[in-house]
Homo-oligomer: A and B are copies of this chain.
Amino acid sequence: MFDFVIIGGGAAGYSAAISARQRNKTVCILRPEQNETWLSKAGKIHNYLGMPDISGKDLLAAFEQHVLDMGAEIKFGIAKQIMKNGDSFFISTGPDYIEARSVVVATGVRQPKQIPGEAEFVGNGVSYCGTCDGMLYKGKVVAVVAESIESIKEVDFLSSIAEKVYLSKGGIAFDFLAENVEVISGKVMEILGDETIQSILVGDQNYKVDGVFIFRNTTAYSSLLADLETEGNYIKTDRHMHTNIKGIFAAGDCTGEPLQIAKAVGEGNIAVLAAIKEKLV
């Protein structure tokens, strides 16, 4: 049980982490192994006060070192779902979960573009976790939409259970694929069915499937936490970074413009101090 789980390894999440460690709170930062934030790809950064003329990569590295030096824990994984459990929260990463008294959502600006039909079949044929739901498809046919490197392990696992796996590889490099995995070229354009999933549409071709697994580096807010209030693509917060759910805060680009490092660092700090002030941790 941590005081804080912070979802996201960018400026907002890391600032939240050091603010929590400064107050001697336990912190777990949950982030993808490939930490491809906007910052990691930025060229020279000039407007983060005190650290002029630095590459985004170096700035992110300095942030991460600071976080580790302050004693925060970094765990690789993608938050799939947040569940309330009395006064604490379970954050599911698929194969595992983390428990925390308070959560700071700092997942950045990118919300996944969902596939038509995806939202409709979530929990009823669409899954974001192979190790959780794979057994439901023993001897059946599934499709995998691969957009994160965790897909590699998941496809391996699913191919050992399902009769057949159709794989849309995205940009992911698979070293090995079992014989029952068929790579399909082209994007999955739609998930079709009536009460259950019947097929996927790729180009002008239909593939008959029983289930669709989608692996991305970000989870749609609606999947992460169905009740989370949003405004357009952003999580709605007040000036102290409260979301509409007690104990859950948001910080950084995911709360809206301006999409800036300084703003993210400020908001991470504010969120954690609000949680502490309100004795949530």
State the A residues within 8 Å of B (CB). 11, 14-15, 18-19, 22, 46-52, 59, 62-63, 65-67, 69-70, 238-239, 257-258, 260, 262-270, 273-274, 277
In the bound complex, residues from chain B placing their C-beta under 8 Å from that of A266 are: 260, 262-267, 269-270
| Cβ 8 A contact of A52, one of B59, B69, B262, B268 | B69
Q: List 23 A-B contacts (CB under 8 A).
A: A11-B49, A15-B49, A18-B46, A18-B49, A19-B260, A19-B262, A47-B269, A49-B63, A49-B265, A50-B62, A51-B66, A238-B239, A239-B239, A258-B269, A258-B274, A258-B277, A260-B266, A260-B270, A260-B273, A262-B265, A262-B269, A263-B270, A265-B265
- Contacting residues, chain B, for A258 (C-beta < 8 A): 269-270, 273-274, 277
Q: For the complex formed by this chain, how many copies does it contain in all? A: 2
Residues of B within 8 A of A62 (CB): 50
Name the residue on B nearest A263 (C-beta): B266
Cα A48 to Cα B18 in complex, Å, equals 8
Nearest CB of B to A73, in Å: 17
Q: Give the docked Cα–Cα distance between A269 and B47 (Å).
A: 9
Out of B47, B50, B274, which one reaches A51, CB within 8 Å? B50
In Å, the complex CA distance between A239 and B256 comes to: 10
Q: Please tell me if the beta carbons of B46 and A15 are within 8 angstroms of each other in the complex.
A: no
Known interface pairs A258-B273, A262-B266, A268-B262; A49-B239 also in contact (CB < 8 Å) = no
Instruction: Give 8 new A-B contacts, CB below 8 A, not counting A50-B66, A51-B66, A52-B65.
Output: A15-B262, A18-B46, A18-B47, A49-B268, A50-B51, A52-B70, A263-B269, A265-B265
Q: Please give the distance in Å from A131's CB to the nearest CB on chain B.
A: 34
Contacts of A270 in B (CB 8 A): 258, 260, 262-263, 266
